[in-house]
Amino acid sequence: MNTNTKQTAIQHVVTHTAPHLDEVASLRLFQKGYGERLFPGSTEAASRVLFTEGMQQKDDTFYDSIKMMPIGCVPGTRFNDKDKDGRRIPAVCTTTKVMEYLNLNEDKVLKRIADDVLRCDTEPGVKNTELAELIKMGHRRVKDDTIMLKWATALLDAVHSQITFGFAPIGRRTLQTEFDRLLDAGRFPDDRVRGKLANMVKESMERKDESIMELSFIADCLFRTSNPDAGDLIQFALDHIYEDQLMFWQAVEECRQSNDRHVIRSFDGERPRDLRVLFVKSDNQNIIRASRHREAGGAGVTIIRNSKGNVTVFTDRRRSDVCLDEFVAMVRWLEWPKDSSGGPTTPMPIWKEFQVDGVMEPVSQWYYHKRAGQLLNGSLSFPNKPASQMASQAFIDVARAASNPREVNEWKRVRGVSRCEDSAKPQPKGLTKIELILEVNDPVPAVSVSEVPTQSAISVSAAKE
């Protein structure tokens, strides 16, 4: 329990662009006045929140001195779920940090909401019809953060009121009836997407009692609390899903059209393991999900370069055997500042430290989210990170080299990287076939099929059956 009683006056509240559910829920707490005792002025400041594309990393003392409260946008500050090095703090999210600091955990309704926000922020398996995902879809579709914040806050308000007062049903309106009404009005014309959306609505109705963040539950809350805008708020959510599905299938087509396959086979043991890596140039944010679809090739690792040159690397979280450690280390080593002779301008750490979770100086343009299997050179929330200076071909070469320990050691030997015991890994048993699916407009030299012992930090473990 936080026993802090020091008051800090606030004039400005800031969060990152495209705020996630945990930032939205945190801002709502301040907008409702829960922070006024410790942070006088925070209620009004949160009602006119500012959005940043990237702030200087200062501590709370600095921001307190200028009467500014960063929420979820400056690692290491009091209301952030990452430490000063950008590493994720286990078992917390921005909302739970706010709840703890403001001593709100005794409020059962707020605690229940915060617990579900935490689940959506830290655990796998969040459904597309839960508020956390709906917010992400909305940001891909609506480029006005204020509109998205007001919409999501209205939904949380309804959930809060309904859990608190337990209002009885009014009429028979539900998520299903609203969807049917919109169908009758010809709202969703695409046959394939309309069918998918209908199934998602049906499944949401079946999960109504499983999550207070489920759209079907939220729809009931809106109707039972007599929200006059309930229909519009629900339609806004359904439009997110529909438009996102349209973008998804466009992304699948992009992936299909960019296929250029190169195969490397690694042998060790009895069981085969396949990993496909997709490299594609696109600004379509649905490429990440689309690349895993069987019609797009079922990529286990996706490398995306946008039109600004920023690169993101994602793994399929269903593949528990895939790890990016060596890939991340190679990228950071290559991006490390060097002088005209190729020597580092600042001392390099041992190899294992190149694999550290979070942000690493002086290559802070890269953020490694190890648990999620993501390497980010900027994101929707932090779009102003400097673009990688590596050529697209270099990422392909790194993906190829990181596929097995012999190639990793050779890559390091050629570049004069010292071999360290802490970077060595035991080889798993299994056969790994790594298939690189490369963008057709970004040609690479032919790659011969070779047989080499496997292990990778695009690492593929192969447990025996």
pLDDT tens digit string along 195-210? 999 999 999 999 999 9
Tell me how far the alpha carbon of residue 143 is from its chain's centroid.
18
| Number of domains composing the chain | 3
| Radius of gyration of the chain, Cα coordinates, nearest whole angstrom | 24
Residue 442 lies in a domain: no
- pLDDT category of residue 109 using cuts at 50, 70 and 90: very high
Instruction: Kindly tell me if the per-residue pLDDT of 178 is higher than 60.
Output: yes
Half-sphere exposure of 145 (CA within 13 A, CB side): 19
Tell me the pLDDT tens digit for each residue of 276-324: 888 999 999 899 889 988 888 888 888 999 999 999 999 888 877 778 9
- pLDDT category of residue 259 using cuts at 50, 70 and 90: low
Instruction: Kindly tell me if the per-residue pLDDT of 447 is higher than 60.
Output: no
CA distance 413 to 312: 27
Same structural domain for residues 379 and 403?
Answer: yes
Instruction: Kindly tell me if the per-residue pLDDT of 435 is higher than 50.
Output: no
Contact 112, 163 (CB under 8 A): yes
> What's residue 277's pLDDT?
83
Angle at which helices 131-141 and 215-224 pack, to 10 degrees? 90
Residue 245 lies in a domain: yes
Same structural domain for residues 327 and 195?
Answer: no
Residue 449 lies in a domain: no
> What's residue 402's pLDDT?
84
> What's residue 299's pLDDT?
85
Tell me how far the alpha carbon of residue 299 is from its chain's centroid.
17
Instruction: Kindly tell me if the per-residue pLDDT of 69 is higher than 90.
Output: yes
Tell me the pLDDT tens digit for each residue of 154-167: 999 999 999 999 99
Give the contacts of 258 (CB within 8 A, at least 6 positions apart). Answer: 278, 280, 281, 437, 438, 439, 440, 441
Model confidence, pTM: 0.79
Range of the domain at 215: 125-257
Same structural domain for residues 269 and 302?
Answer: yes
The pairing of strands 50-52 and 261-266 is unpaired
Same structural domain for residues 28 and 53?
Answer: yes
> What's residue 460's pLDDT?
39
CA distance 164 to 162: 5
Residue 53 lies in a domain: yes
Residue 61 lies in a domain: yes
- pLDDT category of residue 257 using cuts at 50, 70 and 90: confident
- pLDDT category of residue 381 using cuts at 50, 70 and 90: confident
> What's residue 439's pLDDT?
44
Instruction: Kindly tell me if the per-residue pLDDT of 132 is higher than 90.
Output: yes
Q: What is the DSSP letter of 413?
A: H
User: Which of these three, 233, 257, 281, is where a domain ends?
Assistant: 257
